[in-house]
Amino acid sequence: MMARLRPLLILGLAAMLSACASSPSSTLGELPRTPQATTQQLLQQADQSDPEKAAQLRLAAADQSFAKGEIARARSIIDQVPMASLKPAQQIFANTLLAEIALADDRLQQAQQALQHPAFERLGELPIEQQIRSQTVRAKVLEADGQQLAAARERVFTAPLLSGPAAEANHEAIWSLLSSLPGDEHPHLAADETDFDGWLSLAAAVKQAGTIAQQQRAIDDWIARHPQHPAAQQLPVQLAQLRELADQPLTHVALLLPMQGKLATVAQALRDGFLAAHLQAQQAQQAGQSALQIELYDSTQLTSLDNFYRQAETNGVQLVVGPLEKDLVRQLGERERLPITTLALNYSDAGQKTPPQLFQFGLAAEDEAREVARRAWADGHRRAIALAPRGDWGARILEAFRQSWDQAGGTLIAAEPLAEPVELANQIARLLQLRDSEARSQHLQSTLDKSVTSEPTRRQDVDFIFLAATPQQAQQVRPTLIFQYAGDIPVYATSHLHAANQNRTQYLDLEGIRFAETPWLLDNQLPLRQQIEQKWPQAGGSLGRLYAMGADAYLLAPRLNQLLALPSTRLNGLSGSLALNPQQRIERQLPWAQFHDGQIERLPNNPLP
């Protein structure tokens, strides 16, 4: 019987092979299988196999090594795979793995390149597990590149494929990405992106609400309008916690500011920004805001902080906004407790242990230094030179940049105080000089040889320059770089080089420099800015940063408990995107702009690809 059946089996097998050869799956290829052998056994078997089988085995071995955290070994193994000869399924698998390895190695550009392979056009034909893996790493790469909106969109697209803990983690990641976005993101959506549109409308509803009670109502209203949305059926943890917070309306605030002396101009701008934000809230009839009583105290007239707090308690003050003077903030920081919650408008000494009732907010240059590190890293730069003014202020900026850059994994080639104007050109020339004696000798020889036309060469291991400088100092930097044949080196700067005076000549000298800046000074259409400028035109210049800070102090005042209870919360302010760190200091993230053709050109925040 078996002898008679065998020819039929052979004919049937031949027919199946023929069908496979002509089917789409044969052109797609097979994914590497999960191996039962060790990595070493897989590699030994690969050495004894034909090229196609060997490639499959090496991909499996590289994947196994990556899963164990052996990043270098995984990279070494996958480098032995002839990528061009792989079929599409294997190319998708290999490039997904390459992107994961590159991301783990902080090689963002390599990860991006891997995910641009044409084979990904056929990702939808692969098993669900591979689709999830490829789309998840794509979302992580977009997030690492600073494209939160695109990363959130990718995760929303992946969500229907997930279940269990993976679905919950993806759900929380979507909200984390969208809640960190600036409030002015308005993407164009396709007709089939209803889930993504729902997520965006939820984020907008929470951000636009004022007090905790308003946010709670906004969440409830959104759920009523979108009962079938995934976020309505399972609220992100942060929003679920927000709904449970008890709202304690703020009705009486004391502004403690120096209305006389050298800080009077600063204090007036802060006061006027705070009061203008309050007036705007009254006009909008925001519940919990219109009944707020604001009482002004002049800190230059204080006999003692103890007397001030006793008087404020007697008057029923619930929150103190101020003081501005650093010495007074330092004194508050030395106390074990404060009788009234206080939002200081300056910072105590770094590392100082402060009472739990003290929050601190200011236009810290350190925030901008950290922002430069974040942006430069996201732009793919890895090796930096840092320059800042001499003195304590410059030293703090350099240290903040150094710490952030080191944490990101960057290399700081040099960090120096800025030289005096007459020496600045020599300082930059020295930092960018030829790096070895052989190169110097070659350059000298070519200079002496009259028959050879040569240009000075500069070191090639510098990706960008971090600059904290006044406009006058910064004006010398770009021409000096061009003179040193280093005009192609990007310069990232803090806002201090932006005088906000619309001086075209000055702006031309700063051509191409990228800098962090407050939303206030990058958008002259902001309603509150327009209202304030009508009365105080100086708010459109560099003083605008202080008006923005005053308005943001008003934004923060009723939300300190929320920031404390939900540390991942960000508020979109006029001085930046605001968050509370573990030391109860408000840290800012800022949008970006660059000088271009004598004008200020705002750079996109998180553009969709």
pLDDT digits (tens, 9 = 90+) for 471-489: 988 998 888 888 877 888 9
Average pLDDT, the chain: 86
Residue 179: what pLDDT? 83
Which amino acid, 383? R
Quickly state the pLDDT bin for 187 (edges 50, 70, 90).
low
Alpha-carbon separation of residue 192 from 165, 185, 196, 226 (angstroms):
26, 19, 9, 16
Residue 235: what pLDDT? 93
* CATH class of the domain defined by 252-360+528-584: alpha beta
Quickly state the pLDDT bin for 509 (edges 50, 70, 90).
very high
Nearest C-alpha neighbor of 478 from the set 359, 486, 304, 281: 486
Q: pLDDT for 366-380, tens place per residue?
A: 999 999 999 998 888
In the block, residue with structure tokens 């040569």: 454
Other beta carbons within 10 Å of 307: 10
Q: In what order do the strands lie in the sheet with 319-321?
A: 293-298, 252-257, 319-321, 341-344, 358-360
Residue 298: what pLDDT? 96
> b/e for 117-154, b at 16 or more Cβ within 10 A?
bebbebbeebeeebbebbbbbbbbbbbbbbbbbbbbbb
Q: Average pLDDT, stretch 224-252?
A: 88
Instruction: Give me the torsion for CA of 590, 594, 599, 602, rounded to 10°.
Output: -50
Quickly state the pLDDT bin for 442 (edges 50, 70, 90).
very low
Quickly state the pLDDT bin for 285 (edges 50, 70, 90).
low
* pLDDT greater than 70 at residue 553: yes
Three-state secondary structure string covering 522-582: HCCCCHHHHHHHHHCHHHHCCCHHHHHHHHHHHHHHHHHHHHHHCCCCCEECCCCEEEECC
* pLDDT greater than 70 at residue 9: no
Residue 429: what pLDDT? 85
Least confident piece of the model among 24-33, 70-79, 109-118, 536-545: 24-33
Nearest C-alpha neighbor of 257 from the set 268, 249, 245: 268
* pLDDT greater than 80 at residue 263: yes
Rounded to an integer, what distance in angstroms lies between the CA atom of residue 378 and that of residue 47?
Answer: 40
* pLDDT greater than 80 at residue 448: no
For 181, list phi and psi in degrees, rounded to 5: -75, 150
Rounded to an integer, what distance in angstroms lies between the CA atom of residue 373 and that of residue 466?
Answer: 8
Q: Can you give the pTM of this predicted structure?
A: 0.73
Residue 184: what pLDDT? 52
Residue 550: what pLDDT? 98
Residue 17: what pLDDT? 31
Q: Average pLDDT, stretch 79-94?
A: 92
| Length of the chain (residues) | 609
Domain spanning 29-175: CATH 1.25.40.10: yes
- The residues of the chain that CATH labels 1.25.40.10 are 29-175
Rounded to an integer, what distance in angstroms lies between the CA atom of residue 525 and that of residue 538?
Answer: 16
Residue 78: what pLDDT? 92
Quickly state the pLDDT bin for 160 (edges 50, 70, 90).
very high
Percent of the chain surpassing pLDDT 90:
62
Rounded to an integer, what distance in angstroms lies between the CA atom of residue 132 and that of residue 117?
Answer: 17
Rounded to an integer, what distance in angstroms lies between the CA atom of residue 367 and that of residue 516?
Answer: 10
Q: Average pLDDT, stretch 552-578?
A: 89
Q: Please tell me which of 15-19, 168-172, 457-461 the model is most confident about, judged by mean pLDDT.
A: 168-172
Alpha-carbon separation of residue 502 from 302, 507, 551 (angstroms):
40, 8, 24
Q: Average pLDDT, stretch 185-189?
A: 59
* pLDDT greater than 90 at residue 455: no
Instruction: Give me the torsion for CA of 236, 566, 199, 172, rounded to 10°.
Output: -40
Q: pLDDT for 583-601, tens place per residue?
A: 999 999 999 999 999 999 9
Percent of the chain surpassing pLDDT 70:
88
Residue 332: what pLDDT? 96
Rounded to an integer, what distance in angstroms lies between the CA atom of residue 261 and that of residue 287?
Answer: 37
Q: Identify whether the C-beta of residue 345 lies closer than 8 Å to the C-beta of residue 361.
A: yes
Q: Is the pLDDT higher at 34 or at 425?
A: 425
Q: Average pLDDT, stretch 103-107?
A: 86
* pLDDT greater than 80 at residue 503: yes
Omega cis (within 30) before 609: no
Instruction: Give me the torsion for CA of 332, 337, 339, 345, rounded to 10°.
Output: 30
Q: 3-class SS at 35?
A: coil
* pLDDT greater than 90 at residue 171: yes
* pLDDT greater than 70 at residue 606: no
Least confident piece of the model among 76-80, 107-111, 185-189, 423-427: 185-189
* pLDDT greater than 70 at residue 382: yes
* pLDDT greater than 60 at residue 25: no
DSSP state of 425: H
Degrees to nearest 5, angle at CA 187 with 186 and 193: 125
Handedness of CA 401, 403, 407, 409 (dihedral sign): positive
DSSP for 177-193, written as a single string? HHHTS-TT------TT-
Residue 327: what pLDDT? 95
Q: pLDDT for 337-366, tens place per residue?
A: 999 999 999 999 877 889 999 999 999 999
* pLDDT greater than 60 at residue 274: yes
DSSP state of 449: -
Rounded to an integer, what distance in angstroms lies between the CA atom of residue 203 and that of residue 193?
Answer: 16
- The residues of the chain that CATH labels 3.40.50.2300 are 252-360+528-584, 366-435+457-517+593-602
Q: Identify whether the C-beta of residue 588 lies closer than 8 Å to the C-beta of residue 578.
A: yes
* CATH number corresponding to 366-435+457-517+593-602: 3.40.50.2300
Least confident piece of the model among 226-235, 255-264, 311-320, 427-436: 427-436
Q: 3-class SS at 343?
A: strand
Q: Average pLDDT, stretch 318-341?
A: 96
CA terminus-to-terminus distance, the chain = 64
